Amino acid sequence: MKNLLNRTDRRIAILDVEASALERGSYPIEVGVALVCRPSEPIGVEAKLIRPTAD
C-alpha cells in the first residue's frame, strides 16, 4: 500500500465529533478537523465547542 501522505496531489481531512454521552438525548459538544496538505507542511488543526440551544 502506498503512503498517501507522501503524495502531493492529495489532501486529507480528518473530522472528529465529540458527544456529551452515548445515550438517547445526547448531543455533539465539540467538532474538530485536521487537514494534511503536504508532508513538508505542518498539519492544520481547528476545534470548536458547540453550545446546545436552551429548551
Q: What is the pLDDT of residues 2-22, one digit of tens each?
A: 565 565 667 889 999 888 888
Block residue for cell numbers 507522501: 6
pLDDT band of residue 1 (cuts 50, 70, 90) is very low
Distance CA 31, CA 48 (A): 5
Instruction: Find, among 14, 19, 12, the residue nearest to 52 by Cα.
Output: 19
Which of the given ranges, 7-11, 26-30, 32-36, has the highest pLDDT on average? 32-36
Comparing 52 with 50, the larger pLDDT belongs to: 50
